[in-house]
Structure 1
Amino acid sequence: MGRGKIEIKRIENANSRQVTFSKRRAGLLKKAQELAILCDAEVAVIIFSNTGKLFEFSSSGMKRTLSRYNKCLDFSEAAVAEYKTEKQDSKEVDGLKDEIAKLQMKQLRLLGKDLNGLSLKELQLLEQDLNEGLLLVKEKKEKLLMEQLEQSRVQEQRAMLENETLRRQVEELRGFFPPTECSVPAYLEYYPLGRKNSLMNHSSATPDVASDGAVEKGDSDTTLHLGLPSNLYHKRKAPERETNSNDSRSQLGVL
């Protein structure tokens, strides 16, 4: 007869429980060793009895195996967290893609394209949206125009104030320099036209006679003569004539 199936539950008898623990512990450690040898696996077993006694087995050293286990555990947790993050990001990306597609469709409809399949109510809502947008655009344009007009007015007022300030400064400067009567120089005189003709003809008449003759003839034309008076002109001519006569006499004496 075969051995009957043992019910897996806590053994109430302490002696039987201790005997079973010793037998099964030895079998478990033996199986772990065989698994490590046969399959070239890194196996570690840690057992604590009910009295707190430690039993262990490791094919590559317990510290090395535990260190490797901790690294794998940390990596597993990081991998799980990364997977959750990627999954959440993927959901957000899918939602954003759907929203972008809806916005693109709405933009096309606002431009009057891709209107097929819209009902009368949807077309009315689209028309309402377009009218509201047009009103907003007009309000914004009027606001900008008013702002530009106000800026122009401010600049105009500023320019007027600057002009007024400059005008006052000019008036103040004029007050520092009162007008004075400037005497006309001696060489800037008005002579009758007859005297001018007499000077051009190199006549020997005096200025008084020439002027009297012009007055008697009733000639009222006058001209501005720039240069020395006529009497000085004749005085200059006289020494020149004397010099010429002296030169001619000296030449005759030499001959």
Structure 2
Amino acid sequence: MVRGKTEVRRIENATSRQVTFSKRRNGLLKKAFELSVLCDAEVALIVFSPRGKLYEFSSSSMEKTLDRYMLHAMDVNINKRAKEHKMKSETASLMKKIEQLEACKRKLLGENLESCTVEELHELEFQLEQSLSNIRERKYHMLAEQIERLKEKEKNLLKRNSSLHEMFNSETQLQLFAPGNAVSDDHDGQNTEVETELVIGRPGTC
């Protein structure tokens, strides 16, 4: 028979809660002992009952294991504080760089120039001229590429137009020389003769 899952929550009945605590405490101590023996691990287990009674297990010495834990926790805290200090220092450095970039951006836009020296103004002018040169070069390059694409498109369209024109002429010639569609030379030259009959006299006498 399969046991159902036990919902993990506080047991309200005091007697059932005490029985469960005793069973699971013994199981936990047994598992700690097995872990220390099977895996040669240093294990220390401390359990306080709801009434404050202490239960403990140590594979070697509880004091030595606790001292080792405190040293490890101290190292962890030191490393944590060192990392936090390093992160704060890097953050401050990045914020300073951002402020410098923002100030440079405002000056390039022509703002806050009152505090600039003549040398700084000359430097700003040089940077702006260099930027304009780069922008013009990029613009001309893009325009040249666009012109090349348009020329290629025009070439393709002319080629297609020529192909369609040749196809149209070929179909027209086939229709003209097809059987039953022959045209006489008189019609081609528009020299068709018209026969007329000349009658002299009063109308109705012939």
Report how far residue 110 of structure 1 moved.
0.6
Normalised to the residue count of structure 2, the TM-score between the two structures is 0.54
- Aligned equivalent of 1:125, options 123, 126, 130: 123
Structure-2 separation of matches of 1:90 and 1:173: 83
Structure-1 separation of matches of 2:78 and 2:166: 84
In the alignment of these two chains, the number of paired residues is: 129
Query: Which aligned pairs between 1:88-103 and structure 2 lie closer than 5 A?
Result: 88-103=86-101
Query: Which aligned pairs between 1:171-186 and structure 2 lie closer than 5 A?
Result: 171-174=169-172, 177=175, 178-182=177-181
SS at match of 1:112: coil
Structure-1 separation of matches of 2:114 and 2:68: 62
Change (3 A) 1:216 1:143: farther
2:193 matched residue in structure 1? none
Q: Deviations over 1:33-61 (max 9, x none)?
A: xxxxxxxxxxxxxxxxxxxxxxxxxxx87
Normalised to the residue count of structure 1, the TM-score between the two structures is 0.44
More deviation in 80-89 or 111-120?
80-89
SS at match of 2:79: helix
Tell me which amino acid in the other structure corresponds to 2:66.
R
Q: Deviations over 1:52-76 (max 9, x none)?
A: xxxxxxxx87633333333322222
2:134 matched residue in structure 1? 136
Tell me which amino acid in the other structure corresponds to 1:162.
R
Report how far residue 99 of structure 1 moved.
0.6
SS at match of 1:137: helix
Identity of paired residues, percent?
Answer: 19
Tell me which amino acid in the other structure corresponds to 2:81.
Y
Q: What stretches of structure 1 of length at least 5 have no aligned partner?
A: 1-59, 184-210, 218-255
Structure-1 separation of matches of 2:181 and 2:84: 99
Larger Rg: 1 or 2? 1
Q: CA RMSD in A?
A: 2.7
- Aligned equivalent of 1:158, options 148, 156, 159: 156
Determine if the alignment matches structure 1 residue 77 to structure 2 residue 75. yes
Q: What stretches of structure 2 of length at least 5 have no aligned partner?
A: 1-55, 183-195, 201-206
Where relative contact order (Cα < 8 A, 6+ residues apart) is larger, the structure is 1
